Amino acid sequence: MAKISSIKVDSKIPEGPLAEKWTNYKAHQKLVNPANKRKLDIIVVGTGLAGASAAASLGAMGFNVLNFCIQDSPRRAHSIAAQGGINAAKNYQNDGDSVYRLFYDTIKGGDYRAREANVYRLAEVSGAIIDQCVAQCVPFAREYGGLLANRSFGGAQVSRTFYARGQTGQQLLLGAYSALNYQVSQGTVKVFTRYEMLDLVIIDGRARGIIARNLVTGKVERFAAHAVVIGTGGYGNTYFLSTNAMGSNGSAALQCYRKGAWFANPCYAQIHPTCIPVHGDKQSKLTLMSESLRNDGRIWVPKKLEDAKALQAGKKHPNDIPDEDRDFYLERRYPAFGNLVPRDVASRAAKERCDAGFGVNNTGLAVFLDFKYAIQRLGEDVVRQRYGNLFDMYEEIADTNPYKEPMMIFPAIHYTMGGIWVDYELQTSVPGLFAIGEANFSDHGANRLGASALMQGLADGYFVLPYTIQNYLSDQIQVPRFSTDAPEFVAAEKAVTDKIAKLMAIKGKRSVDSIHKELGHVMWDYVGMARTKESLETALKKLAEVETLFWSDLFIPGAADTLNVELEKALRLLDFIEIGKLMAYDALNREESCGGHFREEHQTEEGEAKRDDENFSYVACWKYTGDGQEPELIKEDLNYQYIKVQQRNYKN
Amino acid sequence: MDKNISFTLKVWRQRGPKEKGAFATYEMKDIPGDTSFLEMLDILNESLVNKGEEPIVFDHDCREGICGMCSLYVNGHPHGPATGATTCQLYMRRFKDGDTITVEPWRSAAFPVIRDLMVDRTAFDKIQQAGGYVSINTGGMPDANALPIGKDIAEEAMDAAACIGCGACVAACKNGSAMLFVSAKVSQFALLPQGKPEAAKRAKSMIAKMDELGFGNCTNTRACEAECPKCISISNIARLNREFIKAKLKD
Ligand SMILES: Cc1cc2nc3c(=O)[nH]c(=O)nc-3n(C[C@H](O)[C@H](O)[C@H](O)COP(=O)(O)OP(=O)(O)OC[C@H]3O[C@@H](n4cnc5c(N)ncnc54)[C@H](O)[C@@H]3O)c2cc1C
Ligand code: SF4
Ligand code: FES
């Protein structure tokens, strides 16, 4: 049993009715006047949608911003890879959408485990994001009449997703990058590329800077500021194989955790239903096929076990199985939403069929996503126009032509809803430390709906943080710039260099990746799509073994004071192991099923997730208590005042 | 099913920007055809680390052809033999048993080598900082549908905006020109009404920056277009030239 802390959580939700909270907040928050802004330094770590939009907006307001990323250019942050789209409650389609409906869908999609006030604000600012992006020349898809086009995504019955072909994340990020470049040209933002944050510096209880390693020279450097913003993305790579980019990591979040910021809901990880199945053991990452494909593709496995067996043995071709022998299991189980059920539901349904032996590839871990019907209905040209680049991508990887035969897909780790705990102001439990984008835990509850991560990242960066951070900074204007010679900086730097020296000195036999793969197997097998008390206890034991292996047998070639990719990976792996443990603790504690967290002990007779609102309607915040010690649990109760909490129903 | 292949890999290795580099040769055995090119390098690196040696350094991140990080010059082609694909989208089934595969970094004065196959492309960021934006702040924008934009115009802008900033165009060009990259950004903005007011000025300042950073002139060899993984068209260069002339006329 987790040790429960008596700390009372203040999430700083403003007074007033739901729809007026944000307006009230903005009307009464404290501001910083323009002359003073120039005297205040803000560190923004990360240049993804969240980090770049925040850095650009803060720069535009007149603050002095230092912006960091590990890639060689801000434009290469992992956000670039988002394909499908971004939600906004514009109701351009006149199909009944509204701020309230987007809010409602997001809360429901998150299985009633997100904070009402935050999510309402997210829906409220969503429209302004689209306006901002269009003003930046983001080339969204348009209709013949010249107006913006929309598509539908899982978990919604309206069409509110804006997109730029299959490259929405790229176009939004390039928009934010252009805004950032404008600020760089104005001298308000300085960008540090190929730099990796390795620790947070705290002075008198407030976040005052970071320690970062120049990845080209290997030099460990100190940076001071009046506030620190973390926008470093999610920790899906804990599983080794995921749809995340190779460099995506959870280290900055974990550094903050070790310095006192709470880590919230770590066990909420999203498993995306439509990824290209795993092949072989040399694979380095998994490729997502956009959820938008579920608009027109139909998901099926054979009805007859003997057909599945023949497919697995390569003795039958999918096209030879007649329609009446195909089990469109999502349409069968969820008639109202069909192939557009939320991700957690679709993923579990695929697993259920494959566990029952109906998997369709040689490993038995794949289902079909079939465009035959869409091609019959719309013609190949229309399908090509909508999904051409995705089909090409699939063909290049899988070496089969999806216009001619169904795609094979399987669920994969994709997104992490958990992250650094923040209050309504996006401030963590450490004063002066803020967290935005996927790095925080805020808006998606136990399951994120498609096209809402881009929305949240940009909402945080363009329209929320630039306001709320001023409320904190307004009483910091008398605080002079910090010297990085302060003892806190010296100590933090020493701790980092000591840790690096310790890793270099292990001199074992195993490469970082080989140990990371072991971690990934433990996580997928025991903290994956279906969890039990037993599996999670096994996970904790096995994670301790992986940690021992790391400290006894890791080998990092080369030197620390120069470019060293293996060292970079080793530092991240150490943190992934710690995150793995946090995920297991959290999953063990949460004795219910909700969203992406499925405890087999807690399911309905039909195999759906069974929540326990009586006992678990809270955010689980984990507080660091020392290395090798179990963290403490702090509960933030969730009170729903405007929405009636129900069992999610996508059936009728 | 893909079959396994064995081949010889010649890889450029160089400690730092000022140090001399050389090819190192590695024999690769039984690599499955469904291994990506970068996964093949992972396999090699794993074996190097297991022998106590330093792995080959190369840039990569998304491994799905969109971040623009991967940048290998394979058998004389930026991003290798496939058209319309990045290095990370290249699969070993493209190669034959017994092949010799040569891997080099981008070679261009404006992209100095950092180590092995990793080069410094910050010059591209600097060009973008010289004008690759609309000069606006955050908030207070007109409604997104206030200004209809023809579908064909939006599509053309999207074609140009698809550039991933990888630098293959520069690596492919005998003059080391960045014109395709610059023209893609200038075109995207020049086509759309929100970008028009600054179009000419933007073209001029981005070109000036490009010249200053040591990129060469464009002599219309079209090598860039042929090698661009996103099939960015050189018609963008014509549009860039038009904007540039407009700016000159205003001077
Ligand atoms: C394949 C794929 C497709 C997706 N498609 C969609 C979609 O269609 N719609 C949608 O809404 N969402 C989608 N998502 C989710 C969405 O893309 C991400 O959640 C979102 O982009 C995260 O943005 P971010 O700014 O929080 O972080 P990221 O974009 O991950 O950026 C992290 C930044 O932090 C930097 N960084 C990390 N660690 C450090 C460190 N220690 N020091 C310094 N810098 C550091 C990185 O360099 C980078 O700049 C998709 C995700 C994937 C994987
Ligand atoms: S124009 Fe093509 S080759 Fe050049 S940077 Fe852009 S995507 Fe790469
Ligand atoms: S690794 Fe991102 S484009 Fe190749």
Q: What is the CATH number of the domain that holds B126?
A: 1.10.1060.10
Looking at the structure, tell me whether residues B84 and B193 fall in a common domain.
Answer: no
Predicted confidence (pLDDT) at residue A652 exceeds the cutoff of 80: no
Out of A49, A53, A69, A78, give the residue to mutate to test ligand 1, the one with the largest number of ligand atoms within 8 Å of its CB: A78
Give how far Cα A12 sits from Cα of A22, A337, A428, Å: 12, 36, 11
| 8 Å CB contact of A137 and B157 | yes
Q: pLDDT tens across A593-629, in order?
A: 999 999 999 998 888 889 999 999 999 999 999 998 9
A88-107 per-position pLDDT tens digit: 999 999 999 999 999 999 99
User: If you measure CA to CA, which chain A residue comes closest to B93?
Assistant: A399
Question: Is the Cβ atom of B160 under 6 angstroms away from ligand 2?
Answer: no
**Assigned domain for A348 exists:** yes
Domain co-membership, B126 together with B100: no
Contact B138 A513 (CB under 8 A): no
pLDDT at B206 over 80: yes
> Is residue A423 predicted with pLDDT exceeding 90?
yes
Interface touch B65/A393, C-beta < 8 Å: yes
Same domain? For A409 and A507 the reply is no
Ligand positioned closest to the Cα atom of B172:
2
Provide mean pLDDT across the span A219-236.
98
What share of chain A in percent tops pLDDT 70?
A: 100
- Mean pLDDT calculated for residue range B134-149: 97
Domain identity same for A501 and A391: no
Pair A410, A493 in one domain: no
Q: Is A416 in the pocket of ligand 1 (CB under 6 A)?
A: no
Same domain, B159 and B237: yes
Per-residue confidence (pLDDT) for residue B2, from 0 to 100: 67
> B178: Cβ below 6 Å to ligand 2?
no
Q: Are residues B233 and B148 in the same domain?
A: yes
Query: What confidence tens digit (pLDDT) does each residue in A122-142 have?
Result: 999 999 999 999 999 999 999
Q: Say whether both B99 and B132 belong to one domain.
A: no
- In whole angstroms, give the CA distance from residue A434 to residue A469: 8
Is B238 within the bounds of a domain? yes
- Find the A343 Cα to ligand 1 centroid distance in Å: 18
Tokens of A233: 């993305």
Q: Give a yes or no: residue B109 inside a domain.
A: no
Read off the pLDDT of residues A186-212 as tens digits, 9 standing for 90 and up: 999 999 999 999 999 999 999 999 999
Which ligand is in closest contact with the Cα of B168?
Answer: 2
Q: Which atom of ligand 3 has the smallest separation from the CA of B67? A: 2
The whole-angstrom distance between B161's CA and the closest CA on chain A is: 7
Using the Cβ of B115 and the Cβ atoms of chain A, whether some distance falls under 8 Å is answered with yes
Residue A427 lies in a domain: no
Which residues in chain A are contacts of B133 at CB distance < 8 A? 136, 178-179, 181-182, 185
Nearest to B122 among A72, A165, A555 (CB): A72
Task: Please say if the pLDDT value at position A365 is more than 80.
Answer: yes
Report d(CA A285, CA A283) in Å as an integer. Answer: 6
Determine, for residues A76 and B68 on separate chains, whether the beta-carbon distance falls below 8 Å: yes
Considering the domain architecture, whether residues A282 and A408 belong to the same structural domain is answered as yes
Residue B185 within a domain: yes
Strand order through the sheet with A64-68: A189-192, A64-68, A41-45, A227-230, A433-435
Check B61 against A167: CB less than 8 A apart.
no
Instruction: Find the closest chain A residue to B134 by CA distance.
Output: A136
Question: What CA–CA distance (Å, rounded) separates A230 from A227?
Answer: 10
Q: Are B194 and B83 in the same domain?
A: no
User: Does B114 map to a domain?
Assistant: no
* Of the partner residues B35, B133, B192, the one whose CB lies closest to the CB of residue A179: B133
In this structure, the residue with its CA closest to atom 1 of ligand 2 is B181
Q: Which of B35, B120, B132 is nearest residue A178 as measured by Cβ atoms?
A: B132
Residue range A446-453: average pLDDT? 94
Q: Which atom of ligand 1 is nearest to the CA of A288?
A: 1
Query: A486-513, pLDDT tens digit by residue?
Result: 999 999 999 999 999 999 999 999 999 9
- Which of the four pLDDT bands, split at 50, 70 and 90, describes residue A331? very high
**Residues 51-70 of chain B whose Cβ lies under 8 A from any Cβ of chain A:** 52-55, 57, 59-69
pLDDT of residue A266: 98
**Cβ–Cβ gap B125/A74 under 8 Å:** yes
Domain range for A613 is 487-618
Average pLDDT over residues B50-72: 97
Closest-lying ligand to the alpha carbon of A214?
A: 1
User: What letter represents residue B195's amino acid?
Assistant: G
CA of A138 to nearest chain B CA: how many angstroms apart? Answer: 8
Answer whether B154 sits within 8 Å of A139, measured CB to CB.
Answer: yes
Statement to judge: residues B98 and B133 lie in one domain: no
Contact flag B150-A216 (C-beta cutoff 8 Å): no
Query: What pLDDT band is residue B1 in, cutting at 50, 70 and 90?
Result: low
Indicate the residue among B69, B104, B139 that finishes a domain: B104
**Partner residues linked to B91 by β-bridges:** B36
User: How far is the alpha carbon of B227 from chain A, nearest alpha carbon, in Å?
Assistant: 18
Cα R_g (chain A), whole angstroms:
24
Assess whether B94 and B126 both reside in one domain: no
Q: A378 with A240: CB under 8 angstroms?
A: no
Tell me the best of B66, B69, B181 to mutate to test the pocket of ligand 2, counting ligand atoms within 8 Å of each CB and taking the most: B181
B residues 140-159 closer than 8 Å to A (CB): 141-145, 147-151, 154-155, 157-158
Which domain-ending residue is among A414, A439, A472?
A: A414
Q: Establish if B116 belongs to a structural domain.
A: no
- Are A177 and A107 within 8 A, CB to CB? no
Count how many pairs of residues, chain A against chain B, have C-beta atoms within 8 Å: 218
Please give the residue of chain B at the shortest CA–CA distance from A60. Answer: B137
> Is B113 among the domain residues?
no
Cα of A413 to ligand 2 centre, how many Å? 30
Instruction: Indicate if B86 and B132 belong to the same structural domain.
Output: no
Say what the pLDDT of residue A279 is: 83
Mean pLDDT of B218-233: 96
Is B98's pLDDT higher than 60? yes
The three-point CA angle B38-B42-B48 to 5° equals 140
Whether the ipTM is more than 0.90: the answer is yes
pLDDT tier at B46, thresholds 50, 70, 90? very high
Tell me the mean pLDDT in the region B137-166: 97
Verify that B78 and B145 share a domain, yes or no: no
Mean predicted lDDT score pLDDT of chain A? 95
Pair (A277, A390) in one structural domain: yes
Q: Which pLDDT belongs to residue A292?
A: 82
How many Å lie between the alpha carbon of B134 and the closest alpha carbon of chain A?
6
Strands A206-214 and A433-435: unpaired
The answer to whether position A331 is within a domain reads: yes
Distance A50 CA to ligand 1 centre (A): 8
- The answer to whether A624 and A260 have CB atoms below 8 angstroms apart is yes
Residues B156 and B53 in one domain: no
Nearest CA in chain B to A173: B67
Residues 6+ apart with CB under 8 A from B241: none
The residue among B59 and A342 whose pLDDT is bigger is: B59
Domain that holds residue B193: 121-250
Q: What is the pLDDT of residues A507-561, one digit of tens each?
A: 999 999 999 999 999 999 999 999 999 999 999 999 999 999 999 999 999 999 9
Same-domain status, B96 and B191: no
CATH classification of the domain holding A276: 3.90.700.10
A57 lies in some domain: no
Give the whole-angstrom CA distance, residue A324 versus residue A606. 24
In a domain, A311, yes or no: yes
Interchain CB distance below 8 Å, A282 and B32: yes
The whole-angstrom separation of Cα A386 and Cα A296 is 10
Provide the shortest C-alpha distance from residue B69 to chain A (in Å).
Answer: 7
Same domain, A604 and A501: yes
Question: pLDDT tens for residues A425-436?
Answer: 999 999 999 999
List the single range of A230-234, A391-395, A455-459 with lowest mean pLDDT: A391-395
Chain B, 197 to 236: residues with Cβ < 8 Å from chain A are none
Range B58-76 average pLDDT = 97
Q: Are residues A525 and A407 in the same domain?
A: no
Using a CB-CB cut-off of 8 Å, the residues of chain A touching B137 are 57, 60-61
Q: Is B24 in contact with B115 (CB distance < 8 Å)? A: no
Q: Look at residue B225 and tell me whether its pLDDT is greater than 90.
A: yes
pLDDT digits (tens, 9 = 90+) for A367-405: 999 999 999 999 999 999 888 878 988 998 899 999 999
* Cα A243 from Cα A265, distance rounded (Å): 21
Nearest ligand (C-alpha, residue A75): 1
* Cα(B64) to centroid(ligand 3), Å: 6
CA of A192 to the centre of ligand 1 (A): 18
Number of compact structural domains in chain B:
2
CB B32 within 8 A of CB A282: yes
Domains held by chain A: number: 2
Q: Which of B45, B71, B104 is the last residue of a domain?
A: B104
* Helical axes A565-589 vs A512-526, angle rounded to 10°: 20
Residue A331 has φ and ψ, to the nearest 5°, of: -65, -35
Last residue of a domain, one of B104, B134, B166: B104
Q: Is residue A226 part of a domain?
A: no
Chain A residue numbers with beta carbons less than 8 Å from the beta carbon of B145 are: 90, 92, 147-148
Please check whether residue A19 lies inside any domain of the structure: no
Closest chain B residue to the Cα of A162, Cα to Cα: B144
What pLDDT score was predicted for residue A69?
A: 98
